[in-house]
Amino acid sequence: MSARVLSVAMGLALWGAASDASAGTVTLNPPQWSQGNTQIGVPVDTPDGGVTYEVLQTPVTGPGTVTTSSAGNANLVGSYSASAQVRASTLPNPSLSATATDSGAASYANASLELDYTIEIVGPSGMVPLVAKASGDTNSTYASSSAVDLSLLLPGNDVVFEAASLFGQAEGGFQSSFQASNTYQTAANQPIGVMMLASAGADTNASGNAASASAFVDPYFYIDPSFVNASAYSIEISPGIGNMPSGVPEPSTWVMMLFGFAGLGLAGYRKAKNGHAALVATRSVQP
């Protein structure tokens, strides 16, 4: 059984959308999910004392966490444990992660998911500096492999955004991560498709060793603030998709936090006021 492949890929390509910049309205395609699956292959006993294989899988059709796992013992091959998981979110920014773990003999695990959505710079006609920023990592151990590939596809131009690859060996594992921030001159009022793909695979290859793989990516886009007319432009995103740096609260979260701070302040004020009133009352009844 060959080693399963782990990869993370993100590309940008023209994708259909209807827009009317002069009217100030943009209608972008909704996000599309594809290639979503968590799959494991595990040994199963047969009546004649032998062993066969059973494939267990769960489709992944959108954001959330999906896991397929199994553990046990089987004739001839002994104990096994396999797990495949995909985690996906669209807010505050889109992110995909895939993990696969496998231990024991004669089992494997695969996980994958692709997300396609659209962005568009809206404003006066012309070229605008679009900053594409993303972080990601891959990790692999024995009998697993991994790769990271971020690409920007614009009309007549195919630029590799970020690339790396990993393959786990018996001697030990490998890990790679990146923090990338690249600027591209992009035409305003032209839809740009964003493709994100995360997949992970692990296969013990009947060796009895443990194998694991993981992948993660989270793109974010903004207009270069040093651009003279930056304030005249905005970035529209497919409905339901966020575009905010990781770790920054959503606007609704800020509102809740402000209400929370206001509540704490009011509670503290009332406590201080009640304490002062009680002190005045105590002093007034003293002989």
Q: Are residues 154 and 233 in the same domain?
A: yes
Range of the domain at 277: 249-287
pLDDT of the chain, 287 residues: tens digit per residue: 333 333 444 444 444 444 444 445 678 989 999 989 999 999 889 999 888 889 999 999 999 999 999 999 888 888 889 999 999 999 998 998 989 998 877 788 999 988 888 889 999 999 999 998 887 777 777 767 665 555 655 555 555 555 555 544 444 566 777 777 888 888 999 888 888 888 888 887 655 677 888 888 888 899 999 999 999 999 999 999 999 876 544 443 333 344 444 444 544 544 444 544 443 333 333 44
Q: Are residues 167 and 286 in the same domain?
A: no
Q: Are residues 149 and 198 in the same domain?
A: yes
Q: Are residues 107 and 185 in the same domain?
A: yes
Q: Are residues 183 and 273 in the same domain?
A: no
Q: Are residues 41 and 80 in the same domain?
A: yes
CB neighbourhood size of 120 (10 A) = 22
Q: Are residues 272 and 185 in the same domain?
A: no
**Total of domains in the chain:** 2
Q: Are residues 261 and 183 in the same domain?
A: no
Q: Are residues 141 and 199 in the same domain?
A: yes
Residue 206 burial (10 A CB sphere; 0-12, 13-18, 19+)? middle
Residues 6 or more apart whose CB falls under 8 angstroms from that of 73 comprise: 79, 80
- Phi and psi at 253, nearest 5°, equal -70, -40
> SS in 3 state form for 91-147?
CCCCEEEEEEEEEECCCEEEEEEEEEEEEEEECCCCEEEEEEEEEEEEEECCCEEEE
Q: Are residues 139 and 153 in the same domain?
A: yes
Q: Are residues 277 and 174 in the same domain?
A: no
Q: Are residues 154 and 261 in the same domain?
A: no
**For the stretch 96-114, what's the b/e string if a residue is b when 16 or more beta carbons lie within 10 angstroms of its beta carbon?**
bbbbbbbbbbbbbbbbbbb
